[in-house]
Amino acid sequence: MLLRQHGVFMVADGIGGSAGGAGSSSALVDALTKLFETLPAPDVVRTAVGKSRLIRHQANLVSDYIKGKSDQLGFRHAGTTAMIMLFDADDPTRAITLHAGDSPAYRFRGEDFRQITVDHTYASQLPPEAVEKMSQKMRGVITRAVGVKREVDLEENVVDIQPGDLYLLFSDGVTNMIDDTLLLGLVRAHRDEGLDVLAQAIVDTANENGGRDNISVVAIDVGEAKTPELIKESKATLAEPPSDE
């Protein structure tokens, strides 16, 4: 989801089976899109904190809806991850991430490339020695998501923004197929070619490496001007995994 005029960017990745998961991610994206598109003007809610309040309230409404609907239809553990980045129109040096699940946010600044959020999985909550004893399937079990419970606790983190930053929001269909070293190589190779080229290169590489899950990429390039209009470009690229069914 891209609501550039509101400074709102999101990746949502359904969980709990194809039917329940797809419906859950669509429900969240549609609800948040409608929320911001019905505002009288993009500058009505200018601060990241104000946007966060709106989104938290709406996410709880969506979580309650998904939980009730999935129980009714028998979709066990249906829900969706959420990775949302909110830019502040009044303070261009800050943004907020809200997330639940294992869709991460990365930052490329200068030559520093790192994940700036912590996944909500069993593996992320345990010491390395315990993780080594777990199966790969158990390591990836999500501990927090929209729709699994009536309310969702979106983790909030303040991000300092600098001119020239590049932010990448992914579904785990990217990070399960591409390690951080290869991701950094793709960023270095394709950033100057444009965000659409970079996003597509990441999608193509994930598919070439197996493409075993939905692949979503949102790239946000922060401009050089020190004004509230820092966000220079954005691009979302989505791809469905190959199906043998």
Question: Which residues have CB under 8 Å from 150's CB, separation 6+?
Answer: 60, 63, 64, 67, 68
Kindly report the pTM of this predicted structure: 0.89
Q: Is the pLDDT of residue 86 over 80?
A: yes
Q: Is the pLDDT of residue 231 over 80?
A: no
122 pLDDT band, cuts 50/70/90, is confident
**Residue 226: is its pLDDT beyond 60?**
no
Answer for the pair 205, 215: CB distance below 8 angstroms, yes or no.
no
User: Would you list the domain boundaries of the chain?
Assistant: 2-239
Domain 2-239 = CATH 1.10.10.10: no
pLDDT at residue number 85: 97
CA 128 from chain centre, in angstroms, equals 25
Q: Given CA atoms 9, 97, 33, 146 in this order, what sign does their dihedral have? A: positive
Tens-place pLDDT, residues 28-68: 999 999 999 898 777 778 999 999 999 999 999 999 999 99
